[in-house]
């Protein structure tokens, strides 16, 4: 009897393990079948429509896109637009068309909106952007997940290259697009993180409101300021590109929509100025010519938003044949020779690369003035030891254990670059040299 029970348990364990192993494959197969059925159903409904129906739907879509073009706040205030959910919804299911990417074998229905329920099974159209029907001055944003265990969706999107094509089919209109730029969004920030900022702001507002007398609570306001990440030289993120201005506006829009309190104001740094900052931060000698050309076109005090002259920078780039986006948004491998590689800030590139990996994993590096040496390379490079040891939690911190400790005599160190400085150092005492 015991033997039979053991056999049954082993069989159950086997089937559980097999089910877990096969789940991604089976789930993706089922999802693909559902996607194909949705696309086929949509195509059948389109075939049953008349030319007058086509014209009516496209006219409504063009009218909606005109709203988007006329409203500069459309991306982060889509609630100001009317008729979104009804436009192009010919089946009543929310499908407005489908996207086909032949190179990676993808054909996905495109639904209105980018809710979790949509993005778990298909592609979604970002509310506040133009509907994908073509036309001048229209910019449609289509989103889909990568790396879901239950569905491939856009998992293989990284296989696309500049010059590849894909199509978007809406009613009887097939629009062909060519990939002209690829931007990589840092994986360390997600939409959930952005929603978390909104939640934190609202909790802070609740506490601030509770801290004042009831008669003053109506006057309590809160301001949330955010800025675009600008990759800096000699930092762990020097190899990572900046997100595009379009992605910046999408995230700002998400933050604004996630903040439900009218008394909480959301402010953000102009993406265009941050873009220029990123080009200056990551570029080489070619950026100097760009700055001069922009200056000749009237760029002055551009760090102030009210004085920023985007046309001057755009025109300067065209004049020089420079692609600023390629500089600001490109992602490099950690062995890539960066424009500032000939300059050292004492901290080693290996340490920066390791910190980049730790940041992606959400791991914090301890402060070496309180704990062990993190092997950044600064101390042996500069010939010094850690001396900053502060009190922490009311107790005197123990000296940091530095395996790289090396006391370098001033005359053993590298001589100053200038000959006069070298002669001055040779004639000084040890005490003076240390000073």
Q: What is the DSSP string of 208-251?
A: HHHTS-GGGGGG--EEEEE------TTSTTTTSPPPPHHHHHHH
Beta bridge partners of 396: 391
d(CA 160, CA 165): 9
Name every residue whose Cβ is closer than 8 Å to that of residue 399 and which is 6 or more positions away in sequence: 386, 389
Segment holding 172, helix H or strand E: none
Residue 127: closest CA among 115, 109, 111, 113: 113
3-state secondary structure of 48: coil
Query: Which whole number is the average pLDDT over 101-118?
Result: 89
The two three-digit tokens of residue 386, written as one number: 């850690």
Tell me if 244 sits within 8 A of 183, measured CB to CB.
Answer: yes
**Annotated domain spans of the chain:** 2-178, 191-329, 349-434
Which residue is it, tokens 């086509």? 54
Output the CATH code of domain 2-178. Answer: 2.40.260.10
What pTM was computed for the model? Answer: 0.50
pLDDT at 253 over 70: yes
pLDDT in tens, 319-336: 999 999 889 988 888 888
Between residues 247 and 96, the one the model is more confident about:
96
3-state secondary structure of 59: helix
Tell me if 391 sits within 8 A of 419, measured CB to CB.
Answer: no
Arithmetic mean of pLDDT over the chain: 80
Q: What is the pLDDT confidence band of residue 132, given thresholds at 50, 70 and 90?
A: very high
pLDDT in tens, 331-390: 888 888 899 988 888 888 999 999 988 887 777 888 777 677 888 888 887 777 665 545
The two three-digit tokens of residue 150, written as one number: 């239950």
Tell me if 30 sits within 8 A of 23, measured CB to CB.
Answer: no
The two three-digit tokens of residue 211, written as one number: 């801290």
d(CA 334, CA 356): 10
Tell me if 121 sits within 8 A of 151, measured CB to CB.
Answer: yes
Residue 242: closest CA among 268, 292, 280, 293: 280
Which residue is it, tokens 């500049």? 162
User: pLDDT value at position 19?
Assistant: 60
């Amino acid at each position: 009897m015991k033997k039979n029970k053991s056999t049954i348990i082993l069989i159950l364990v086997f089937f559980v393990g097999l089910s877990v192993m096969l789940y991604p494959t089976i789930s993706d197969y089922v999802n693909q079948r559902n996607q194909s059925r949705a696309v086929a159903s949509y195509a059948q409904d389109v075939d049953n429509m008349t030319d007058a129906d086509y014209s009516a739907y496209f006219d409504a879509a063009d009218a909606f896109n005109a709203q988007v073009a006329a409203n500069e706040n459309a991306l982060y205030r889509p609630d100001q637009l009317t008729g979104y959910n009804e436009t192009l919804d010919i089946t009543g299911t929310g499908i407005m068309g489908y996207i086909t990417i032949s190179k990676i074998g993808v054909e996905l229905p495109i639904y209105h909106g980018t809710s979790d329920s949509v993005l778990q099974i298909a592609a979604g159209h970002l509310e506040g952007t133009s509907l994908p029907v073509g036309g001048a001055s229209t910019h449609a944003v289509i989103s889909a997940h990568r790396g879901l265990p239950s569905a491939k969706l856009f998992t293989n999107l990284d296989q696309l290259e500049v010059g590849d094509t894909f199509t978007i089919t809406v009613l009887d209109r097939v629009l062909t697009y060519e990939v002209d730029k690829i931007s990589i969004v840092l994986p360390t920030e997600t939409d959930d993180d952005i929603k978390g900022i909104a939640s934190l702001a609202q909790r802070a507002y609740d506490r601030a409101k509770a801290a004042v007398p009831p008669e003053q609570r109506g006057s309590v306001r809160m301001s949330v300021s955010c800025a675009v990440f600008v990759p800096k030289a000699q930092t762990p993120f020097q190899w990572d590109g900046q997100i595009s201005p379009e992605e910046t506006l999408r995230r700002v829009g998400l933050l604004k929509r996630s903040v439900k309190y009218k008394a909480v104001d959301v402010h953000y740094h102009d993406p265009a100025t941050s873009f220029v900052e990123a080009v200056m931060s990551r570029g080489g000698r070619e950026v100097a010519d760009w700055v001069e050309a922009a200056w000749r076109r009237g760029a002055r005090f551009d760090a102030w938003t009210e004085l920023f002259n985007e046309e001057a920078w755009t025109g300067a780039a065209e004049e020089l044949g420079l692609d600023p986006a390629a500089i600001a948004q490109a992602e490099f491998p950690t062995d890539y020779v960066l424009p500032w590689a000939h300059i050292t800030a004492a901290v080693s590139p290996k340490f920066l690369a390791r910190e980049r990996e730790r940041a992606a994993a959400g791991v914090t590096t301890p402060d070496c003035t309180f704990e062990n040496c993190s092997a950044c390379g600064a101390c042996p490079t500069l010939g010094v030891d850690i001396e900053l040891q502060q009190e922490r939690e009311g107790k005197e911190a123990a000296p940091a254990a530095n395996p790289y400790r090396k006391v370098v005599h001033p005359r053993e160190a590298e001589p100053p670059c200038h000959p006069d400085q070298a002669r001055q150092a040779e004639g000084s005492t040890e005490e003076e040299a240390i000073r």
